[in-house]
Structure 1
Amino acid sequence: MRQKDQPSPCMIDVFDIIKKTVLDTQKEYLSINSHEAFKRDFLDMYQKNVQSWDPTSKCNAYHIDTLLWTKNGRQFSSVGYADINGDIVVNSDIFPNAKHGYNQRRFLISTLEYAPFVFKKKVNNSYIYEGFCIDLLEELAHKLNFTYTLTEPDDGNWGTITNEEELTFNGLVGQLQREEVDIVAAPIASQAERSPVMDFSYSYYYEYTTVLVKKPDINATKWRTLLDPFKVEVLVAIGIIRLYMFGKCRQDYRISLLAATVLVFLLEKYNPFYDTPQHKEDRMIQGGLHELHSSFWYVFGALLCQGGVHLPQSTAGRTLISCWWLTCIIIVGTYCGNLIAFLTVTKEKPPFNTLAEMLQLKNTYKWGTVGGTSWEMAFPSSSNPTFRATGKAFLEFSKADPTILHQSPPYHINRVKNDEKYAWIGDKTSIEIAMAKECSLVSIKEEFMPLIYVFGFTNNSPHTAVFSEQMIKIHEGGLYQIWKRKWWPKSNFCAGNSIPEAKPISLMDVQSAFYVCLIGIFLGSIAFLVEYCWYKYSSYRQKRRNYSSSAVLDKQGDRPTDSRKTTTSDHKNRQTHL
């Protein structure tokens, strides 16, 4: 304030009154949202304070100036005056900056690189920051009329508890707790453990946590292509009488290849239909399914849509065989359709789909997460037993391998690509971006532990409400979606996954068929050797038996030499006939 007509010592007294009024009003303004209400409150308080003013000079009035940012820099501008009677004349807003942002105030803002929210690039020996969060920060700076300087925490952490008794944090949260910075502009998650030491703005992004793993090698399981169209229990139901499945649910499978074989054999062997002389004689001449091996090969041939030489003549046998043929037609049709799908469409599944399944592979797999983040705190201390076991596991892994908690997400992604037995626990956005760039990666189906990304402020900061209100308006304006399309990478479908196309069948695809052929050759050779050895053994025993009989007869003298020769000749003829 300055004297309107001439200088005077009363300047000091009036200035003290104005200063006291401004300070008192500023305290109450924190709870006042209307600019008009603030102006009325200021005038009322000023009149109250000026009542005790006793002018000691002949000054007529004093100017009321406010500091404004103009084209020529920061300058004082007149907004009114106060006369010697205490009356105040205001020509314009006393605090015009109250509705025009922060008047180019400079904030110290801390951040950390985390794509796609914050990118850090080196340009001309200096670093620049880009990304979703930086675009949001630029929009806030424009709307609220402030400037800023970006910095990073020395330890590179996001914010974990370093002392539980004193509740001290490191990283970005620690900077806010120690009031070293004004704001944190990064994808920092709001968390109950952090709320006592900092304030959270309006959330600008919602996210979930999942797990990134490497796809199993599809060629490693193509040896069983002929078995893959059916699950294990279906194959067992076809080939074995009964199978008790492991797990919570146990099921019996009674209708199968062996069961059908036994039933056909029993019905044909003990059926009274064949007790009649005519049917009995026909079966003895032509053969039938009353022999176990004949029943087996007929039932097995029906499964391959080939059948066998002999057909049952009884009504019971024909009924059973007819039902078995219908069963075989359904099974073969279903199998052929699925086999074609398995040969033409590559179906890649992750090694596990839930955290619980991942925990069962603890001796085979290792997993990690970004160190110094909310995940490092949330998992080991979670009330969920699965989360807690997962967190204790990666803390245990980190004792032998500190890189399990490496602070760089690209490091974890590269490790997953190079190590088939490593999994990374991270946010869904980063994992989807990694999958778009590398087709050998896949995420599990389970999504857990939701994340709420916010800007951080010092505890009880007066700026939290101002920034949050503006962030809501930006959200309603649709800028979040525009920035997401700008910084999220375009979809990059892996070859052969998005557009079906004809491809030639390779030897690797049908290797299982050759394995079946080799197994058949091996089993046929074994059967041939067994039959050959059994024939030789039977012939040898027959010769020994005949030789023993001849020796006994010669010794007893029951037959003359001619008779012995005749017997030997008959034996040779019988051997030749056989």
Structure 2
Amino acid sequence: MSSPFSSRIFVVCFSILSRFSVLSSKFNPLNGQHLRVIWPLWEGNPKGLSGPVKSGVIIDYLKDRLNFTYEFVRVTENILEPRGKDRGLISYLLEDKCDFLMAGVTPTSGRMKLADLTVPWMYDCYDLLFAVTEDTVNIDAVVKPFQWPVWLGVLISMMGVITILNMLQYRLMPKVDSAIKPDRINIRNKPPESHPSRVKKGDGKQFLYVFGMLLSQGGSCTSKRLPFRLVAGVWTLAAFIFVQAYTSTLFTYVVAPVNYPLVDSMYGVAESTDVNLLFRHGATLNIFVMDPNATGVYVKLRKNVDSFPNSRCNLISQCLSLITPGSRNTFANSRNFQLDAIKSNFEKTGKCGLQMAGDCFLSLPVNFALQKHSPYTETMNKGLLDLQQTGIIDHWDSWFRPMPPQCMANVKKGYKKGETKHMPISLKNLTGAFVVLSVGLSISFLAFLVEQIISMIVKRNVGKVAEISLDNNSNSQDLNIIDLATEICLSSNPIKPE
């Protein structure tokens, strides 16, 4: 992998080859000058300040290209414009303590009044950064393949088919058959009490038949009549369609990721009520969101910011400290800074704990700044344009910001790894199926307990009835014995008349 040292060699070589074309074409006011430069990421500044990583190489290129020397000015501020009593980086330009500000300066009307801005040397946008969510239990995977109107339609269809099959077999068919087989009249004219078990058993068969088709278990057709078989055949076809549509879609929900991103865009944050938006005080987004005349999505974002007391921070590290696993916080910042945060987090923890939404919001040009009406502005612009023509600015990202391959899926939306590792389906993917099984077993066990309780009550009542009947039988037998003894006595000792 190339190093920053090799990039400096390239800059020097390119500068030597192209210096004469610029210097000979027009007078160079930077020739032999010494500039005071502010680069927030200079090692002499406090850690945690925000600034472009590539500024250090760009200033070396411009130095060799335009033949000037420079020194870095130490700063402690992390905002551009002065805010109240707090100074900003632009304050150094206004106070003539700096000649060239190499921070990420996006053009606004206020900034253009305070300083000269160079041509854009890159374009960037805001992206959302949040913690990677942990895997959640995929309970509702078994019901997701169908929307609730489809489930309701299937349930109504099942009840309707069961009712129609029962009517055909036990209401309409006997009347049709009575014209052919008169012997059925006696069966039909019997009171309902004479064959209740038959009707109950038939209802259960239709119920099992309808459910068996949905479970791909099949079932026996309890009637040979053509209307009955037509209804059963139609249900078989409908059940086949239902089952195929359900099973083909169920697989995608079972193996789908169960760690859904916290949010997918800035507009999702604006519409959400439980996601907290974070950004820096010195960010350009802060100007748009906190503008009293803001409209549209910025008004909703300001309401979100006002609802969370720690929504704005001075340093990126302060905002990142609030991005923790399980939190509902998301940090909005320049996409390049977000890449640095993901890379730094991976180097510290050894895993990709941060993720970007992948939605570019508020795309803006990035400039450098000089003092207002500076004589070096036009020359700096030409040097930056020459550097852009080489195309090396974008290529420097692969040198200064190499993203770990493990984290590429957290950076690019829809990114697919070159080597796909097939992971076995985990328990969290099939939690819904086990929940359904547990509920079914619980209901079955509850029904078993109810049957046992009813059986015990019935046995107890039967025992009491048996005891009462035995007592009655013994009493009647005693009375019979007494009557028999009385008759014997009377027959052996007849009463004589006086």
User: TM (normalized to structure 2)?
Assistant: 0.71
Q: Give the letter aligned to residue 441 of structure 2.
A: I
Local SS of the residue matching 2:337:
helix
Q: Deviations over 1:363-394 (max 9, x none)?
A: x4323112322222221216333223323433
Aligned match of 1:405: 312
Residues 182, 458 of structure 1: 8 Å contact kept: yes
Distance change in 2, residues 1:445/1:142 (3 Å): closer
Structure 2: segments with no counterpart, 5+ residues: 1-22, 189-194, 410-415, 482-498
**Displacement, 1:455?**
0.5
Q: Distance in 2 between matches of 1:273 and 1:177?
A: 100
Q: Give the letter aligned to residue 430 of structure 2.
A: V
Q: Give the letter aligned to residue 161 of structure 2.
A: L
Aligned match of 1:188: 105
**Displacement, 1:201?**
0.9
Aligned match of 2:36: 108
**Displacement, 1:542?**
7.5
Aligned match of 1:150: 72
Q: Give the letter aligned to residue 104 of structure 1.
A: G
Distance change in 2, residues 1:353/1:534 (3 Å): same
Distance change in 2, residues 1:130/1:173 (3 Å): closer
Local SS of the residue matching 2:110:
coil
Distance change in 2, residues 1:419/1:236 (3 Å): closer
Aligned match of 1:55: none
Q: Which stretch shows the higher mean deviation, 467-476 or 431-440?
A: 431-440
Matches of residues 49-68 of structure 1 in structure 2 within 5 Å?
none
Aligned match of 2:370: 457
**Displacement, 1:405?**
2.6
Q: Give the letter aligned to residue 416 of structure 1.
A: I
Distance change in 2, residues 1:396/1:268 (3 Å): closer
Residues 176, 182 of structure 1: 8 Å contact kept: yes
Local SS of the residue matching 1:156:
coil
Matches of residues 146-545 of structure 1 in structure 2 within 5 Å?
146-159=68-81, 161-162=83-84, 170-218=87-135, 220-228=136-144, 230=145, 234=146, 236-240=148-152, 255-269=153-167, 272-275=172-175, 276-277=177-178, 293-311=204-222, 313-344=224-255, 346=257, 348-362=259-273, 364-381=274-291, 383-398=294-309, 401=310, 404-418=311-325, 420-435=327-342, 437=346, 438-494=351-407, 498=417, 499-536=419-456
Aligned match of 2:486: none
Residues 100, 368 of structure 2: 8 Å contact kept: yes
**Displacement, 1:522?**
0.9
**Displacement, 1:361?**
4.2
Matches of residues 20-59 of structure 1 in structure 2 within 5 Å?
none
Structure 1: segments with no counterpart, 5+ residues: 1-94, 114-119, 164-168, 241-254, 563-578
**Displacement, 1:538?**
5.7
Distance change in 2, residues 1:265/1:549 (3 Å): farther
Residues 94, 114 of structure 2: 8 Å contact kept: yes
Residues 212, 424 of structure 1: 8 Å contact kept: yes
Residues 197, 459 of structure 1: 8 Å contact kept: yes
Q: Deviations over 1:344-373 (max 9, x none)?
A: 5636421332334334543x4323112322
Q: Give the letter aligned to residue 378 of structure 1.
A: F
**Displacement, 1:138?**
1.6
**Displacement, 1:454?**
0.3
Distance change in 2, residues 1:274/1:326 (3 Å): same
| Highest RCO, 1 vs 2 (Cα 8 Å, sep ≥ 6) | 2
More helix by share: 2
**Displacement, 1:105?**
0.7
Q: Distance in 1 between matches of 2:480 and 2:102?
A: 119
Local SS of the residue matching 2:323:
helix
Local SS of the residue matching 2:119:
coil
Distance change in 2, residues 1:435/1:103 (3 Å): closer
Aligned match of 2:489: none
**Displacement, 1:418?**
4.3
User: Highest CA radius of gyration, 1 or 2?
Assistant: 1
Aligned match of 2:485: none
Q: Distance in 1 between matches of 2:221 and 2:124?
A: 68
Distance change in 2, residues 1:440/1:299 (3 Å): farther
Q: Distance in 1 between matches of 2:320 and 2:446?
A: 51
Aligned match of 1:571: none
Distance change in 2, residues 1:429/1:503 (3 Å): same
Local SS of the residue matching 2:138:
helix
Residues 39, 72 of structure 2: 8 Å contact kept: yes
Q: Deviations over 1:412-461 (max 9, x none)?
A: 33532445322111122232444464533322254321221100122233
Q: Distance in 2 between matches of 1:289 and 1:429?
A: 72
Identity of aligned residues (%): 16
Distance change in 2, residues 1:521/1:290 (3 Å): closer
Q: Distance in 1 between matches of 2:401 and 2:93?
A: 29
Residues 122, 366 of structure 2: 8 Å contact kept: yes
Q: Deviations over 1:229-253 (max 9, x none)?
A: x2xxx2534543xxxxxxxxxxxxx
Residues 208, 427 of structure 1: 8 Å contact kept: yes
Q: Distance in 2 between matches of 1:313 and 1:334?
A: 30
Residues 289, 311 of structure 1: 8 Å contact kept: no
Q: Give the letter aligned to residue 351 of structure 1.
A: L
**Displacement, 1:147?**
1.5
| Mapped pair 1:99 → 2:37 | no
Q: Distance in 2 between matches of 1:130 and 1:189?
A: 12
Q: Give the letter aligned to residue 272 of structure 1.
A: L
Q: Distance in 2 between matches of 1:561 and 1:409?
A: 107
Residues 101, 145 of structure 1: 8 Å contact kept: no
Distance change in 2, residues 1:160/1:297 (3 Å): farther
Distance change in 2, residues 1:361/1:470 (3 Å): same
More strand by share: 1
Question: What is the total number of aligned residue pairs between the two structures?
Answer: 425
